Chains A and B, each alone.
Chain A
Amino acid sequence: MPRFFERSPREKQIIKISAYIIAAVTFSIIHVVLLDLISINGLMPNLLLILCVWISISEGQLIGIIAGFAIGLFFDYVSGDLIGTNALTKMIAAFIAGYFYREGKVRQTMASYRFLLAVFLASIGHNLIYYFLYIKSTEIDYISFFIKYGLAESVYTTVVSLIGMLINMPRRELDR
């Protein structure tokens, strides 16, 4: 490979951040615009949450927290949700996923059940807070609402995150 195509660590970093931003914008638009097409009984996979978990596992907990906050805040603006709601919940999801970060074994984690477990637990944490804020001013029973929607959405998100795991499977050997 000619040296001309080799990129400096800084360039790699910029490309990575750009990819995350493009993914965040795309997933936000999909969430808002194409919601009906991918939803099942009103439930849809939380693609932005998968992205937050991905970043947290790839870059570490600190970067994940900041990215989760930024992505959530952007989505609050895009979706018309109460500003701060998604910023808080996505950040919590990234914080939980950060515990699955293992330096030097990023791709192995991403290509294993650990990624699915991280997504599921992060989604549970996310939905616990999100639905609490969502129904706090109503008389809806929180527990039954969470079981019906929060848990179901977490399972759906985890199933969709299988795609992320499968993408990383061929690259798992690169860590070694």
Chain B
Amino acid sequence: MSRIGAIISRFKEVIVFTGLVLVSLIFISNGNLSQMGGFRTIVIGGIGWFERAFSWIPNPGALQSENRALRQLNLQLSTEVTRMRKAMIENERLREMIEFKKKSPNSLISSEVVGKTSIEMRNYITIDRGGADGIKKGMPVRTDAGLVGVVLGYSQNYSIIEVIRNRNVKISAVVQRTGYNGIVVWEEGEYFYLNNIPSSFDVQKGDVVLTSNYSNKYPVDIPIGEIVDVRNDPSTLFHKIYIKPFVNFNTISEVFVIQQVPDPERTRLIKQIENYLEDIEKQ
């Protein structure tokens, strides 16, 4: 008996250690964080009080980390806002175009502008539709806002559009309110000019100018722009009329090709007359 007592006395640390390890393991195996007894609830309540009492002490490390996280979040949100704004504008534009396509009497081919070229004051755009989509040379091109130009040439999948902002282009136009006919031209800058309207004719600022039925190149009644200024030049018999185009050629991104080609018989006749007049001028 005394020998057992001596052994216990000698290894008491190991025995106690083993016993307490077993107790700890029993605690761990039975442990459940969700089961908080009364004592533990009081302790955690007390700790909560302490935490609140010391919460005024600033923690530079935590503040720096929080600051970094907020900056990152700010950047992400800012990018997101920009993307959403862009999507909203695009959505609105596409909605308008879909609405226009539904209402249009002509058959339209919608396409995206993939390139812009400017050669000596002649402006061209490239679209992602070509012969494979039914596009032919001479087809007019417009947006929901107004006239853009005509198809100058095409490949299988792409077409080049001659934009009306071109010195060589002359458009037969009509003032919507009064029905007076004139010729719309562009020289340079933001505005077009409506020529051949006599000074005595009633033309006002705000009048809308459309393509007329005198033109074989463009279909009738396509909006071109709005008159923004009418000046009287005493040296001539005609008004100097400034038109602001409805189409913003700087931001144009989607267009419709109208599936309508000019009447070949009419084109041929015009060509013959032009040649005849040139011959007379030469003589």
Contact = CB atoms under 8 A, between A and B. Distances in A.
A65 B17 CA distance: 6
Contacts of B20: 65-66, 69, 87, 91
B281 interface: no
A170 interface: no
Among B13, B31, B54, chain A packs the most CB atoms within 10 A around the CB of: B13
B84 to A, nearest CB: 36
Contacts of B43: 77-78
Interface in B27-86: 27-28, 30-31, 33, 39-40, 43-44, 47, 50-51, 54, 57, 59, 61-62
A84 B31 contact: yes
Contacts, number: 76
Contacts of B24: 69, 72, 84-85, 87-88, 91
B264 to A, nearest CB: 76
Given A65-B20, A88-B24, A33 B59 contact: no
A108 interface: no
Interface residues of B, number: 27
A87 B27 contact: yes
A133 B33 CA distance: 14
A29 B50 contact: yes
A156 B69 CA distance: 27
Summarize A's interface: helix, strand, loop or mixed: helix
B28 A91 contact: no
Contacts of A37: 57, 59
Nearest to A74: B43
Interface of B: 12-13, 16-17, 20-21, 23-28, 30-31, 33, 39-40, 43-44, 47, 50-51, 54, 57, 59, 61-62
